[in-house]
Amino acid sequence: MTSAVQVSGLSKAYGRHPAVQNLDLNVGYGEIFAILGPNGAGKSTTIEILEGNRTRDAGHVQVLGEDPGTAGRSWRARIGIVLQEASDAGMLTVLEIVQMFTRCYGTARTPQDVLELVGLASVSESRVRALSGGQRRRLDVALGIVGMPELLFLDEPTTGFDPEARRQFWDLIRLLAKDGTTILLTTHYLEEAAALADRVAVIADGRVVAVDTPTKLIEHVNTAATVSWMDGEELHVEHTDFPTELIRRRSRDGAELAQLTVTRPTLEDAYLHLIGVA
């Protein structure tokens, strides 16, 4: 099989409220695939169905070659899950809880290796209840990757991380992908999706409205650059596909373009356009 995840016609409703409607997805092996969407768009429901933790009403789903709704224990050992919120184990030390999870797998990373990977080696003897919010999130990630999963689900993985910790985590995700791990993540950080994802799916109202690379998604909005500068007290703003030519023309007489800025549409602009906000 060429796809780690194959989904067609996926639907799920809660009472009369449709959470997911006729959704299609295809995630290749070794790919970092991000799902974006506003709260209530159906992201978490979709992920829970792919993890085998929620039933579906309709549709075809294959994850690592099996239907997650009926797959057994051997299949579950091949996936890793990092939930938005994980259960507390405050009385245990960081090392103890990782050791406990290690024993659940036939093949697993050593506790020391996984703590080094997520940057918790220095607090391995600390009680979980004594960790900061960001450190607890790193522990969640450690427990998700200790079994060396083929496919890793990350649901809002860097919530609570400071900017430095977030970028360290990105390095970890790239390392896992380089080693062949397929990664499916949801995030509200557009910068995170742009930095990590090979492809991005945007979901709105339970439907996929676009799937493409971050660069290609930006083409869903006007790709013209915005050039702005000050002329005395007056602000000038122009939109153009050729900003270099515009700047050259405006400064041809040697005039300085004060406070000159050139900006282009971002993934955030495309995202807001696709979900109907902009």
Tell whether 159 and 96 lie within a shared domain: yes
- Of 126, 123, 116, whose CA–CA distance to 171 is shortest? 116
Q: Strands of 3-14's sheet, edge to edge?
A: 17-28, 3-14, 58-63
Residue 142 and residue 101: Cα distance in Å, rounded?
A: 10
- Average pLDDT over the chain, rounded to whole? 88
Strand partners, 14: 17
Tell whether 195 and 241 lie within a shared domain: no
Give yes or no for residue 270 having a pLDDT over 90. no
pLDDT score, position 243: 86
Residue 215 burial by Cβ neighbours in a 10 Å radius (0-12, 13-18, 19+): exposed
pLDDT score, position 31: 95
Give yes or no for residue 87 having a pLDDT over 60. no
Query: What's the structural domain count of the chain?
Result: 2
Give yes or no for residue 169 having a pLDDT over 60. yes
Tell whether 137 and 232 lie within a shared domain: no
**Residue 217 vs residues 2, 42, 202: alpha-carbon distances, Å:** 23, 20, 9
Asked, for residue 157, whether it belongs to a domain, the answer is yes
Condensed to tens digits (0 to 9), the pLDDT of residues 23-81 reads 999 999 999 999 999 888 999 899 999 999 999 999 999 999 999 999 998 999 999 99
Q: Which of 61-65, 153-157, 181-185 has the lowest mean pLDDT?
A: 153-157
Give the pLDDT mean for 6-18. 94
Q: Which domain holds residue 243?
A: 225-274
Give yes or no for residue 136 having a pLDDT over 90. no
pTM: 0.81
Asked, for residue 219, whether it belongs to a domain, the answer is no
Give the pLDDT mean for 205-211. 91
SS (H, E, C) 192-240: HHHHHCCEEEEEECCEEEEEECHHHHHCCCCCCEEEEEEECCEEEEEEE
pLDDT score, position 272: 83
Strand runs (DSSP E) across 37-118, as ranges? 58-63, 79-82
Give me 49's structure tokens.
């169905």
- Give how far the C-alpha of residue 266 lies from the chain's centroid of Cα atoms, to the nearest Å: 17
Tell whether 206 and 229 lie within a shared domain: no
pLDDT score, position 86: 59
Tell whether 254 and 160 lie within a shared domain: no
A 10 A CB-CB count for 35 gives 25
Tell whether 155 and 39 lie within a shared domain: yes
Tell whether 117 and 55 lie within a shared domain: yes
Of the residues 193, 214, 235, the one at which a domain ends:
214
One-letter identity of residue 72: G
